[in-house]
Amino acid sequence: MKLLVSLFPGHVSSFSIGTSHEGREIRGLKISSVKQGTSEDTKRQAIVITGAAHAREWISVSTVCYLAYNFITGYSPRSAETRDKQITELVDAYDWYFIPTLNVDGYAYTWEEDRLWRKNRQPTALAFCKGIEVDRNYGFKWESQKQSNPCSESM
């Protein structure tokens, strides 16, 4: 991510949405035709693309990286030099946020301990059932399917 930011500083920046329960930083790339900190920067609609919400779905990390790379290299602000007209139109219309590994703790756990682990590593009400389902526990204006059984592998 650092390399892409250094190669394309005109429309790519990196960001962090915070740290995980185990202290890992959750990083991403922002692709935008508008310079950060300007008045236009706060008025744009955004599209967020994440990978590895389920820790065991390793291919989703590569997919998000591949998509981000194509947006970064396909964008050209000068119409005469446009590499990909459709990508340029999308980047000019929206801010794009790519977070390749949303569930960083669970993802690391699948490499170190249990290849088929799905959840994050946050403690639950039951000490022997660790992990929250990252993509099904939004509490604000979503049709939430909150986990009633922390030990369940299906929720």
Q: Specify the CATH number for the domain of residue 75.
A: 3.40.630.10
CB 24 within 8 A of CB 90: no
Q: Please write the tens of the pLDDT for every residue from 81-131.
A: 668 899 999 999 999 999 999 999 999 999 999 999 999 999 988 888 888
User: In which domain, by residue range, is 79 found?
Assistant: 2-117
Residue 6 lies in a domain: yes
Residue 33 lies in a domain: yes
| Position 19, amino acid | T
Structure tokens, 125: 């009400």
Residue 41 lies in a domain: yes
Provide the pairing of β-strand 46-50 with 95-99: parallel
Q: How many domains does the chain have?
A: 1
Q: Please write the tens of the pLDDT for every residue from 127-153.
A: 888 888 887 666 666 555 555 677 777
